[in-house]
Every structure is written in structure tokens, then in C-alpha cells.
Chain A
Amino acid sequence: MKPAGTELGSMEPTAGVLSELVSHLRRNRTQLREEWVRRITESRLLIAMTKEEIFAEATSVFDNYVEVLETGSVEALQAYARNLSERIIPRGVDTPEVLGIVLLLRDVLARSLFEKYQADFSLLNRVLDAYEPAANRIATTVAVGFVQERERVIRQQQEAIRELSTPVLQVRERLLILPIIGVVDSERARQLTEQLLRGVRSNRAKVVVMDITGVPSVDATVANHLVQTVEASRLLGATVIVTGLSPEIAQTLVTIGVDLTKMNTVGDLQGGIEEAERVLGYKVSSVREATVSDES
């Protein structure tokens, strides 16, 4: 292979070097891509994908890669990385694989550059000076984009799980039961409140029995959320009866300044439902239990 170093002066600026090496990569696109796919298969990466799929992705990743080398535009690559992640994450591809294939591509292209410019060491250095920062930026961008997309997916799944784990049950007309089981963190508490309020509205509930027998303990923040849930429900015209209040949680509520005598609490779920029916069944007699906010 005729050394290409003679085409460029030794004082050529980086931009010229960069565009020359990009042309080289484009000219040799087919064999470089094949080399890359071969290495991917050899390293047993992307085993979740078929050969055709790998080849298709390899083509667009390659082209994007070279384009970013040329333009320095990371935005296009970021968008591509996000898009690629959205497609392959559901197929079970994980972070080491993604990083692995990008680094393999970087290596394949680097080797090609070594081969081309080996005759002129100082030119080779300039070529690598242009290539390496760009290639590393690409690797970082793709990896970070992938990780962020994964985190987003995980958060979504967690949200869905949380929602499933706390059903709001309508058992009688105008009566909702919200059995809360397990550890409640701030995020879950917030979600519970939103779910409940939506449930109050759509079911036109006048009474909610919120059972926390299954909640071992809560910190002050979550205790506050519980109180907020009661208050917000009241704004929607619903009374909340809290059942299953353990001594520990009662203590936490008192600590944050809740006046337990003003909160409607009953020992257990059964008792709570009975109380709720009493409240719902009132005609004229018990105006003190009006389901609209009478007490503040």
C-alpha cells in the first residue's frame, strides 16, 4: 500500500488530517464493517440478536460513527444512541455489550489507520491525535446514552409495579378501601395519594378506609404524606378512616405534630368498614360525621 503520508504536508492542520482519515474510512467502509461484525461475533457479543439484525445495526452505527468523527456533532450521535437503546434494551442487550461493540469498532478503525499511515510515524501521530479524542467521545456518548435509557426504563417499570401493588378497591357504593402493604417510601406514598384521589373522584367515594396494618413503619416524611392524603381526600369531599395504625406509626405521627384525636382511626380493617357504613348510612341524625369537611 503506497504510504499516504506524502499527500499531506507535515505541517497540515488537524482538520485536514481528520477529513483525510474520514475519507479513508468511508472508502473502506465495506471491509471495515465486515471486520467489525466478525469481531463482534467472535467476542460473542449481541448474542440476543440475529446476524441480519447485527449487520443492519452495524451499518448504521458505522455510518453515524464516521459522520460524528467528521462533523464533531455529538447531538446527532446522542439522538441515535437513545434511539438504538430504545430498540435493543427490550431485547436484553446490556451495557457491557454496547460498550464492547463500540470499543471494537474504535479498534477496527484504529488498526486500519495504523496500517495506512505506518510508513510516516509523525503523520500517524497526527492522525491519531485527530482520531483518538473523537473516538473516545463517541464511546462515552453511546455508553452514557444507553445507561440513561436503561435507567429510564427501570424507573418506568418500578412505577408500574408500585401501581399494581396498591389497588384501590371499591367494595360498596361510595366506599373505597385502600390496603397498603409493605414498605412505603416517599415515592410510593406520593403515588398512593395520586391513585387514591383519582379513585375518589372516579368512584365518587364518600368514605375511604385506608388500612396500614401491613406497613411496618414509616418515617416522618411518609407519615406526613399519609396526613396529606387524608386532607386532600377531604377536599374532594371524602372522609378517610385509617385502620391498622401500629403504636410505632402512631408515635411517628404524634412526633410530626399530628393530633390523633382529630384523625379518624379505627383498630382494624373490619372495624373500619363498619364505621364507614355507619357514616354512609347516616340520614339526618349524625351531622357530626358529615362527609364534607366540618372539622379542620
Chain B
Amino acid sequence: MGAELRIAIATDADIVTARQEGRRWASSLPFSASDLTVIATAISEVARNIVSYAGSGEVIIRVVERAGRKGVDIEARDSGPGIPDVRLALQDGYSTSGSLGLGLPGVRRLMDEFDIRSAVNGGTIVSMRLWTR
């Protein structure tokens, strides 16, 4: 399992590429059609946050394995301004310009694992995992 898919994110066309390629990658695992859609949507959300808030960054997708079960790991990194209050940003309904608030809380609920690390002017890393059943 060393392989990973890296997609540079800078334009909104890259958001589409990231979610399509991500879906294609994840489809090599036994995910249901709905799960693949959730994965593609999650990638779309985090990729858009990169474009909206940091200007540019990267989405990295990996196949991972634990205790005999496989899953997909998605990481979105940027070196942008960072999220000042991560907890606030993850609250349902919270929204500054709109994107961050609406997209992430739902994704976080659905992913098996979800983590945001962010520092003011220090960039942001959003990482999440969904395991096959």
C-alpha cells in the first residue's frame, strides 16, 4: 500500500478533478455507491475550502488498511491563513462566507475518522478516513 494520489488544488476546475479522481481511486475498494458519493462530496468540500481560503494546496488520497479492513484516507493541506477557531468552524450552521461552515460539519459526522489541524498563518491540514464495511 504505498501508492497515493496527489492532486494540486488551485482552481475550481481542480475541485472537480479531485473528486472525480478520488472517487475512481476509492472505487477499487468495496464501497457502496452511496459511500463513493460521500467520499467524492467530502473531497469536493475540502478542496473547495483550499481554493476559497488558501488559494492553493493539495489533496492526497491513499488506500489504507487496518485489522484486515481497507479504507480510504483523504488529506487536504494548504499553507494558507489557517482557521482561527476550529471548533467554531465545525459547528452545524456556522458560516462566515458560507463554505467552511456548511460543508465540514456534515462530512465530519459521516467520516469514520476526522481531524483538522490548523494554525493562524500556519496552514491547515484536514484528514479523514472512511473504512469499508
Direct touching of A and B (C-beta under 8 Å): yes
Chain A residues with CB under 8 Å of chain B are 144, 148, 151, 155, 187, 190, 194
**Least Cβ–Cβ distance between B104 and chain A, in angstroms:** 19
Range, interface on chain B: under 10
Task: Please provide the chain B residues from 98 to 115 with a CB less than 8 Å away from any CB of chain A in the complex.
Answer: none
**A194 & B32 in contact (Cβ 8 Å cutoff):** yes
- Smallest CB-CB separation from A198: which chain B residue? B33
**B68 & A151 in contact (Cβ 8 Å cutoff):** yes
- Smallest CB-CB separation from B34: which chain A residue? A194
**B133 & A148 in contact (Cβ 8 Å cutoff):** no
- Please judge, given known A-B contacts A194-B32, A194-B34, whether A187 and B68 are in contact too, CB under 8 Å: no
**B32 & A148 in contact (Cβ 8 Å cutoff):** no
Main SS at interface, chain A: helix
**Least Cβ–Cβ distance between B41 and chain A, in angstroms:** 14
Bound CA–CA A144/B67 (angstroms): 10
**Least Cβ–Cβ distance between B34 and chain A, in angstroms:** 6
- Please judge, given known A-B contacts A194-B32, A194-B34, whether A155 and B68 are in contact too, CB under 8 Å: no
**A155 & B133 in contact (Cβ 8 Å cutoff):** yes
**B133 & A187 in contact (Cβ 8 Å cutoff):** yes
Q: Across the interface, which residues of B come within 8 angstroms of A151, CB to CB? A: 68
Bound CA–CA A256/B92 (angstroms): 15
Bound CA–CA A225/B133 (angstroms): 17
* 3 tightest A-B CB contacts, nearest first: A148-B68, A194-B34, A194-B32
